[in-house]
Amino acid sequence: MVERRYRKPQVVGSIPTLGSYKMRRAYSRLQSVEEKRNLRKAILFIALSGVAVIVLVFIGIPLFGRFTVFFSDLKGGGKTTNQSDTIPPGPPRFNSFPAFTNQQVMAVTGSSETGATVKLTFNGNAQEVLADKDGNFSFNLQLLNGENTFSAIAQDASGNQSQVSKEYSITFDNKPPDLNVTAPSDGSSYFGSNQRQITIQGTTEVGCQVVINDRITSVDDSGNFQYTTTLNDGSNSFAVKSTDQAGNTTQKDITLNFTP
């Protein structure tokens, strides 16, 4: 009789153990952490790339353009032309000058933007000068009798024009003012204490200043003036001088005699 041995059946494949299951879970967590880290890196890279693009557009390109213009200017002998200048200069400013004058030729000076062309309109006629490196300019005006008016604008190298300055006026007058001493008459004589005090009266042009023996006398709106003084014994001389706003003068001299 043949003895049969019992063989344990073989199991195909393998049954996962508890240890291998834990390893797979740990690996899955590591993989998830790595994916999140990579995602953060990708987001950070995209953000930095966006910032770099913005900086390049708003700073890098204009800066590069300025360097290009700078080196072009060096090659061109230092001559610069700012094609992007669209800001107009301010109106020309004139230095103080007399409103009335007895000089037919007057120099008016002022200041503007450096190198600007100052265009003057004088009595309807145009003339122009260049402001110097300090912005100063000057015009010689040939005045006409009476009121003369002028105004000006400034134009920079890019062609921008300022607003018109305010209108100025200069009155040219080289005629001496009228002056009349109406009382007392030249050569008049006075006697006694009651006549020692006298009043000199007269008329002149409106706006004139009257000076009698270096004393200023008021002139009213009609051109009348008067001056009261006390006579000395003997001969008394009086110089009556009228000066208009342009500086023209007229003088009348009178002599009065007093006997106590």
Residue 122 belongs to a domain: yes
Are 160 and 88 spatial neighbours (Cβ–Cβ below 8 Å)? yes
Domain of residue 243 covers: 179-259
Residue 86 belongs to a domain: no
**247 dihedral zone (left: phi>0; alpha: psi -120 to 50; beta):** left
Residue 13 belongs to a domain: no
- 48 shares its domain with 110: no
Domain of 212, CATH number, reads 2.60.40.10
Last residue of a domain, one of 31, 54, 78: 78
- 195 shares its domain with 161: no
Domain count, the chain: 3
- 124 shares its domain with 152: yes
Are 154 and 222 spatial neighbours (Cβ–Cβ below 8 Å)? no
Are 189 and 256 spatial neighbours (Cβ–Cβ below 8 Å)? yes
- 140 shares its domain with 192: no
Residue 68 belongs to a domain: yes
User: pLDDT tens, position by position, for the chain (260 residues)?
Assistant: 445 555 555 544 555 555 555 566 666 676 777 777 777 777 888 878 877 767 666 775 666 556 564 555 555 554 444 557 899 999 999 999 999 999 999 999 999 999 999 999 999 999 999 999 999 999 999 999 999 999 999 999 999 999 999 999 999 999 999 999 999 999 999 999 999 999 999 999 999 999 999 999 999 999 999 999 999 999 999 999 999 999 999 999 999 999 99
d(CA 252, CA 255): 10
Last residue of a domain, one of 135, 152, 172: 172
Terminal alpha carbon distance of the chain: 197
- 160 shares its domain with 227: no
- 145 shares its domain with 192: no
- 163 shares its domain with 233: no
- 115 shares its domain with 165: yes
Last residue of a domain, one of 156, 172, 188: 172
Quote the pTM value: 0.62
- 196 shares its domain with 243: yes
Residue 133 belongs to a domain: yes
Residue 119 belongs to a domain: yes
Are 150 and 78 spatial neighbours (Cβ–Cβ below 8 Å)? no
d(CA 146, CA 190): 44
